[in-house]
Structure 1
Amino acid sequence: MKPVIQEETTGCGIAACAALAGVSYKEAKQLADTLGIRAADKALWSDTQYVRRLLAAFDISASSSETAFTSWDALPDRALLAIKWHLEQDTPFWHWVVFVRENGVARVLDSKQALKSNTRKDFGRIKPKWFIEVTG
């Protein structure tokens, strides 16, 4: 699995779904547009229903609930992680990233444009709040 770079400041959810689906940001954005999902909508990173709908449109199954993060070893092999979680006027916001474990090697695919590498293994610096298991 390869990281997909978000082309919009608030496009992390679209980019995370694109990485899981193995498509480009542009392809995921086009599908998101048909579903009424827009990167400019702040709900994309304060509500899980948008990424769940986009994943379902790609025929990717995800857990129907969020699970509190306890440790990197406890994560499933594929998951959407909520990092940089914070409140703004009593509304939670976060940055979406993808956790993947392939052949026993764990990494985080982070879509943020400004990163030197969008494949991260600096787990001590990443502070997940919770995750959604991606099952199919």
Structure 2
Amino acid sequence: MKAVIQEDLTGCGIACVASLANVSYQQVKSVARTLGIDVADRRLWSHTAFVRILLNHYGIQALSGESPFRSWQALPPLALLATKWHRKNNQTFWHWVIYWKRPDRPVVLDSKFTLRNHVRTDFGRIKPRWFITVHDQM
């Protein structure tokens, strides 16, 4: 699996789905439009429904509901993590990343376009709030 870089400010969820589906950012963005999901819609990073709709479109199974983050060791082999969680005007927001227990070591795939390295192992700097378990497609 490769990190896909987000091309829009609110495109982290789209980029995560693209990574999991092994397709381009533009492909997922185009599918999102046909499903009525606009990349500018804040719900892409304040609700889970849009990301779940896109995962389902690509046949990627995710457990229903979200689980609170307890520790890196307690995470499943593949998960969408909500990081940079914050509340603004009584609405919650976060940044989507992928946690993946690769055969050689666990990594976080982070789509943020300003990062030098999108495959992260600096777990102490990443502050997940909760996660969605994704069934491993590998």
Question: TM-score, normalization: structure 2?
Answer: 0.96
Distance 2:42 2:24 in 1: 22
Could you tell me which runs of 5 or more consecutive residues in structure 1 were left unpaired when the two chains were aligned.
none
Give the 5 Å matches for 1:88-127. Answer: 88-127=88-127
Residue identity matched to 2:38: R
Residue identity matched to 1:120: R
Distance 2:50 2:12 in 1: 12
Question: TM-score, normalization: structure 1?
Answer: 0.98
What SS is found at the alignment partner of 1:129? strand
State the identity %.
Answer: 54
The equivalent of 1:43 in structure 2 is 43
Distance 1:79 1:2 in 2: 15
Distance 1:133 1:32 in 2: 21
Residue identity matched to 1:58: Y
Give the 5 Å matches for 1:60-75. Answer: 60-75=60-75
RMSD: 0.8
Distance 1:100 1:34 in 2: 29
Task: Using the TM superposition, give the Cα deviation of residue 104 of structure 1 relative to its aligned residue in structure 2, in angstroms.
Answer: 4.7
Task: Using the TM superposition, give the Cα deviation of residue 69 of structure 1 relative to its aligned residue in structure 2, in angstroms.
Answer: 0.2
The equivalent of 2:5 in structure 1 is 5
Could you tell me which runs of 5 or more consecutive residues in structure 2 were left unpaired when the two chains were aligned.
none
Q: What stretches of structure 1 move > 3 A for 4+ residues in a row?
A: none
